[in-house]
Amino acid sequence: MRTIQSVAEMKAVCREITRGGNTLGFVPTMGALHEGHLSLVRASKAQCRATAVSIFVNPLQFGPTEDLDKYPRMMERDSKLLEELNVDVLFAPTVGEMYPPGATTYVEVADLSGKLDGSSRPGHFRGVATVVAKLFETVRPDRAFFGQKDAAQVAVLRRMVCDLDMDVEIVVCPIVREKDGLAMSSRNAYLNAEQRQQALVLSRALMRVSHEVDLGERDPRRLVEIGTCVIAEEPAARLDYFEIVDPASLQPLSEISRGALVAVAAFIGNARLIDNILLAPR
Ligand code: PAF
């Protein structure tokens, strides 16, 4: 595996890979890799001739009071994991390399960027869209792999790729969960043993909503109420949002349909956790 820090060198290496007609898969990450990330790498390896992964904790997508400084950084361990999966190229630029002094250009996906996580994390999706657009231009992958756990991010990036006529296919891979249902996340590292148990309330609320849909409930407002009540039963959880939306427009639904996105975000201690399911009413 080649590890590259410079944009110019990454461009040269990726162009060389694709010039010979090889398909290039790309998995952008912020590191602290877990099974969820590794499943994206495996999907890329299965679908593409070569795979590039980036590790970059992007300051632009963190708010001033968020966890940028605390965000887990474990480059040596991550690099070993990627090496074991036979990743071809690891791109690990510095902040100065990605955002040289004087950079003033941003990518703003209007409307969608203010929904779900975007409504409680102003500027977050502007940071995500800007860095992913830059990474796409550097790597120019055929396919880019993202996790369904970041459902709003997926909606924003699909919109960006469509609006800017980018030649990349977005591939979305299923959420990877711990045995007890907790969605894997780098931020789970912030939880102590007690909070780790309390965090299960997110997946429990989603499962409850799914169960109610199986029993015939079709009123999104009632389902949101039910999910919100489950979260309220865990006093350690502070709800950010519980919504049922269309997965592309992120607009609240007035009627439950196949593929409706049930999304939740809640704080457990200082950790802001997100989770979601796609409904499949019978
Ligand atoms: O999902 C993430 O880890 C980040 O938002 C991404 C896509 C790597 C951009 O920094």
Q: Which residue's CA lies nearest to atom 9 of ligand 1? A: 128
Task: Point out the ligand 1 atom lying closest to the alpha carbon of residue 57.
Answer: 10
pLDDT the model gives residue 24: 98
pLDDT the model gives residue 65: 95
* Count of beta carbons in the 10 Å neighbourhood of residue 41: 22
pLDDT at 37 over 90: yes
Interval 53-76 mean pLDDT: 97
Does the Cβ of 182 fall within 6 Å of ligand 1? no
Spatial neighbors of 40 by CB under 8 A, at least 6 apart, are 27, 29, 145, 146, 147, 173
Q: Which residue's CA lies nearest to atom 1 of ligand 1? A: 29
Name the residue among 161, 212, 143, 185 with its Cα closest to residue 29: 185
Tokens 């796609």 correspond to 278
Does the Cβ of 150 fall within 6 Å of ligand 1? yes
The total number of residues written for the chain in this structure: 282
Q: Give residue 27's Cα distance to chain centre.
A: 11
Quickly state the pLDDT bin for 20 (edges 50, 70, 90). confident
Interval 137-150 mean pLDDT: 98
Q: How far is CA 192 from CA 56, 67, 211, in A?
A: 25, 17, 29
Instruction: Give the whole-number percent of the chain exceeding pLDDT 70.
Output: 100
Report the predicted TM-score, pTM, of the whole model to 2 decimal places: 0.97
37 among known catalytic residues: yes
Interval 65-82 mean pLDDT: 97
CATH (residue range 2-173) = 3.40.50.620
Cα–ligand 1 centroid distance for 228 (angstroms): 27
Tell which one of 27, 56, 134, 153 to mutate to probe ligand 1, the residue whose CB is within 8 A of the most ligand atoms: 153
Task: Point out the ligand 1 atom lying closest to the alpha carbon of residue 29.
Answer: 8
Helix 124-139, helix 151-163: angle, nearest 10: 60
Interval 166-180 mean pLDDT: 98
Q: How far is CA 20 from CA 50, 64, 140, in A?
A: 11, 44, 14
pLDDT the model gives residue 282: 78
pLDDT the model gives residue 70: 96
pLDDT the model gives residue 26: 99
- pLDDT tens across 76-123, in order? 999 999 999 999 999 999 999 999 999 999 999 999 999 999 999 999
- pLDDT tens across 122-132, in order? 999 999 999 99
Interval 14-31 mean pLDDT: 96
In angstroms, rounded to a whole number, what is the distance separating the alpha carbons of residues 228 and 232? Answer: 6
Interval 143-171 mean pLDDT: 98
pLDDT the model gives residue 133: 99
Quickly state the pLDDT bin for 281 (edges 50, 70, 90). confident
Tokens 């941003």 correspond to 106
pLDDT at 266 over 90: yes
Q: Under CATH, what is the fold of the domain 186-276?
A: Pantoate--beta-alanine Ligase; Chain: A,domain 2 (3.30.1300)
∠ Cα 227 175 107 (to 5°): 95
For the chain, give every domain's residue range: 2-173, 186-276
Q: 3-class DSSP state for residue 121?
A: coil
Cα–ligand 1 centroid distance for 273 (angstroms): 15
Q: Tell me, what amino acid is at 30?
A: M
How does strand 143-147 pair with strand 261-268? unpaired
